[in-house]
Structure 1
Amino acid sequence: MNTTERKRQFGAYLARLRRDARLSQRGLAERLCRVSGVATLTRNEVSRWERGARVPDAWLPALAVALAVPLGTLERAAAYARGEDEGRLPGAFATLAELLPPGDPLEPGDGNSGRRIGASTVAALAGRVHGLRLADDVLAGGDLIDRAFRELSRAVQLHRESSYDEPTGNALLVQIGELSQIAGWIASDAGQHAQAEHAYQLGISAARQAGDGTLVANLAGSLAYQHANTGRELDAVDLAQAALDEAGPSAPPQTRALFFDRVAWAHAKAGRTHAQQAMRALGEAHEALTQEAPDPAPQWAYWVSREELEVMDARVYTELARPLRAVPLLRSVLERYDATHARELALYLSWLAVAYADANEPEAAAETAARMFELSADVASERTSERGRVVLRRLADYDDVPEVRELLAEHPPG
């Protein structure tokens, strides 16, 4: 790819970020002027960037602030556009721009061009996809996002540029769907929500073409989970229910349990008026897991278990301000959880801290929160950081308690 094409790619990427921020070109120019204190930028200059006529070198720090994008991501994408990192893939956002060219990104070639691939190639990809899932168990989104989207870019390229028979093509689409799901999950954990949504949508397209309704449901449910956590609770309720319906009653019990859990979480985040629906969905998740499975669950559902359902139970109880139910479950989970899973431990401690606060136990809440912040200090997870902010806001109600006051002094609420 030559530099002109790279600049156009960067421009398309920047335009998508602007639209995701719900800004016009003029609105972005005005915001950049406010952020930078320089009042000379016009809409025309933003237009030049988006057409690929120029790369906004000096404006990258202000763009990072204005569009809520990590500066490092913008700098890598800009360096790629200028041809300064030849041989390397761009950062995650720019990679996605390449992944989604005009037209259907999953449209294959004519079946006669490119190298011929077979089952062994798809099996190797499946191994890397599962390896990425296992890595996500112990590493945070910020550590994995570039690797995840490099793999996704290569998988889409393999689909577009190779030749294969129909079974191999369907199997490849399934792996693209699974890879899109874990890449979206990783991006969401890193706080790159627009990036995650695009990945989930790509995966849904791949899974639909492959005729894998359970995988479609997993991708849609993952997107519903993100919606629930980013202020789109009612959208999450609708999408989580649609995902469950998509899977249907014949889906493997482990997957149905997961989809019911996502329905429960969406209702819990939608507020206490949805409490009954949330509690009902939790019960249905446990019921689903007790059913006999005529077929084995897909590999991506390896982690769904009774213990993991209890985690969701406790989180839903905390969201619904039912600490007498939440606290015992969370304490039990934390006692048996592997210490190598620092992100998950920190997240569960955050819900326990809130539950203690709801139970009017501010000293226990402060002690739990302190453990959470210690565990998450070096974890590159925006989801964990946001949970920390939630805990601090909740504990601010107890700032007259010495233990809480000490914690707030060390970790001032943002």
Structure 2
Amino acid sequence: MYLTRLRRRTSRSQRQLAADLCALSGVQSVTRNEISRWERGERLPGVWLPFLASALKTPLADLEQAAAYARGDALAPLPGPAATLAELLPPDDPLAPLTARSGRRIGMTTVDSLAGRVHGLRLADDVLSGGDLAGPAVRELRAAVKIHRESSYDDDTGRALLVQIGELAQICGWILSDAGRHADAEHAYGIGISAARQAGDTTLVGNVAGSLAYQHANNGREREGVDLARAALEEAGPDAPPKTRALFLDRVAWTLTKVDEAQPAMRALEEAHAALSDANDRAAPTWSYWVSREELEIMDARVFTELKRPLRAVPLLTDVLGRYEATHARELALYRSWLSIAYADANEPEAAAEEARAVIELSGDLASDRTAERTRVILRRLQAYEDVPEARAVLDDHGHLLLV
């Protein structure tokens, strides 16, 4: 989010900014938790805007405009967290073309430009969090849908445009889910499934539907997640590129794990590895660039952890995390959270506490609902070891995060 970027530009932590605001105002009432809520869009700074402007050396007018976006102010030119995706896109079927097209005619140059922006958004998601990217992602999706509805184009261009809208809707949904905006994410995924089906791209349908299945499985709709993950794999079909089949099978494994179906989940993991080893020359789509043996091993370890098999999870996670890209802070925090749980399950509370501290340090400045929830998960797990000094110290220092 905007406030997060301003704070990072001044090299301050959330705790340091809170202390500066207290000093500037003379009132000791701003905490690191309050800064975190402002950055996630859960609250607005209100009377603190002038002090923020001073502390961050930013024009007050810019902060006031950002606050207007976040309120969903009707006069604000750009949408913010208070606006839902459903409100920003046309009603009914957003991909239905207008009866009379009055816009300009477009060709593949326009589609290629959109494809570049879509992939740029994917790469940004590797190093930024949902709260930072939700606004730009929604604006891109809204603009792409507008082009589809209001422009004219030949059949080939129209299909290519639908493919890019499908890909954009998938990464937009993923970003919104990371920002904790699950209803908006589901709406975006619905647009993506519709676009991919209209384009006849069954592999893309599988990716979008599988992403929604993953969200369902992690947010109390586990059985729906299983059904949708299986449907995504089936729709993609046996001829989907090996990388994508591996990804879809991994999602099936995860959703089965969430309903405690251990043996089917383990079989799906084995099939995912077999798919990735399939030595054929079918080109994988650009959006699957991140699928690798390393990522499959991380999913293996996550499944082992959820199934209470720490002796299998710990070596895998330790090995993979030792080679993982340091700039991917959110993923490092997420994966180390599973390592912390695995250590706790292995009755190694000191190691679990050490990993918990690393997770909290990595995720402290991330505007990610996923890392915030995983932090709460590991803190709750450490409560079983309150009599261990290392675990007690983590709970004393960070137990307040359970209330956020």
Deviation at 1:96? 1.8
2:345 is aligned with 1:352: no
The residue type equivalent to 1:406 in the other structure is: A
Contact 2:71 2:80 in 1 (8 A): no
Which of 270, 277, 301 lines up with 2:259 in the alignment?
Answer: 270
Which of 130, 139, 151 is the aligned partner of 1:150? 139
Write the distance in 2 (CA, Å) between the matches of 1:269 and 1:333: 23
1:337 CA drift (Å): 0.7
> What's the counterpart of residue 226 of structure 1?
215
Deviation at 1:294, TM superposition (A): 3.9
**CA deviations over 1:342-395 (Å, ceiling 9, x no partner):** 111111110000000000000000011111111111111010010000001111
Aligned to 2:150: 161
Cα deviations by residue, 1:287-332 (Å, 9 ceiling, x for unpaired): 0011133420100000101111001000000000100000000001
1:80 to 61, 73, 80: 73
- Look up the match of 2:286: 299
CA shift at 1:334, angstroms? 1.0
1:89 alignment partner in structure 2: 78
Where does structure 2 lack aligned partners over 5 or more consecutive residues? 1-36, 45-65
- Residues in 2 aligned to 1:293 and 1:206: alpha-carbon distance in whole angstroms: 28
Do 1:99 and 1:153's aligned partners in 2 also have CA atoms closer than 8 Å? yes
Deviation, 1:111, is 7.2
Is 1:132 the counterpart of 2:157 in the alignment?
no
Distance 1:100 1:229 in 2: 26
1:247 matches 2:247: no
Sequence identity, in percent? 68
Q: CA deviation at 1:97?
A: 2.9
Q: Which residue is equivalent to 1:40?
A: none
Shift of the 110–310 alpha-carbon distance from structure 1 to 2, 3 Å rule, reads same
Give SS of 2:139's match. Answer: helix
TM-score, scaled relative to structure 2: 0.82
Answer with 96-105 or 211-220: which moved more. 96-105
Decide whether the 8 Å contact of 2:127 with 2:330 is kept in 1: yes
Q: Is the CA contact 1:184–1:200 (under 8 Å) kept in the aligned structure 2?
A: yes
Alpha-carbon distance between aligned partners in 1 of 2:122 and 2:379, rounded to the nearest angstrom: 31
CA–CA distance in 1 between the matches of 2:239 and 2:342? 36
Q: Which residue is equivalent to 1:258?
A: 247
* Residue in structure 1 matched with residue 197 of structure 2 by the alignment: 208
Q: Which residue of 1 aligns with 2:348?
A: 361
User: What is the match of residue 70 of structure 1?
Assistant: 42
Indicate how the Cα distance of structure 1 residues 246 and 74 shifts in structure 2: closer, same or farther if over 3 A, else same: farther
Counterpart amino acid of 1:369? A
Amino acid at match of 1:354: I
In 2, Cα distance between the equivalents of 1:366 and 1:285? 32
Between the aligned partners of 1:237 and 1:93, the Cα distance in structure 2 is 31
- Checking the alignment, whether the CA contact within 8 Å between 2:350 and 2:388 is kept in structure 1 is yes
Q: Unaligned 5+ residue runs, structure 1?
A: 1-64
Letter in 1 for 2:108: A
Q: Is the 8 A contact 2:241 2:283 kept in 1?
A: yes
Q: Deviations over 1:215-236 (max 9, x none)?
A: 0110100000001100111111
Deviation at 1:100, TM superposition (A): 3.5
> 1:79 and 1:326, CA in 2 relative to 1: closer, same or farther beyond 3 A?
closer
Residue 194 of structure 1 aligns with which residue? 183
> Matched residues in 2 for 1:75 and 1:362: separation?
46
Query: For residue 308 of structure 2, what is the amino acid of its counterpart?
Result: A
Kindly provide the amino acid, as one letter, of the partner of residue 79 in structure 2.
P
CA change 1:242–1:258 in 2 (3 A) is same
1:123 corresponds in structure 2 to 112
Name the SS for the 1:80 alignment partner: coil
Q: Give 1:409 shift.
A: 0.3
Q: What CA distance in whole angstroms lies between the structure 2 residues aligned with 1:158 and 1:392?
A: 47
What amino acid is aligned across from residue 402 of structure 1 in structure 2?
A: P
1:409 aligns with 2:396: yes
Q: TM-score, normalised by structure 1?
A: 0.80
Residue of structure 2 aligned with 1:180, choices 169, 175, 198: 169
Deviation at 1:110, TM superposition (A): 4.9
Question: Match for residue 6 of structure 2?
Answer: none
Q: Look up the equivalent residue of 1:288 and give its one-letter code.
A: A
CA distance, structure 2, for counterparts of residue 176 and residue 299 of structure 1: 14
User: What is the DSSP-based 3-state SS (H/G/I as helix, E as strand, rest coil) of the residue aligned with 1:70?
Assistant: coil
Distance 1:111 1:300, change over 3 A: farther
In the alignment, the residues of structure 1 paired with residue 317 and residue 360 of structure 2 have an alpha-carbon distance, to the nearest angstrom, of 17
Stretch of structure 1 that moved more, 100-109 or 299-308: 100-109
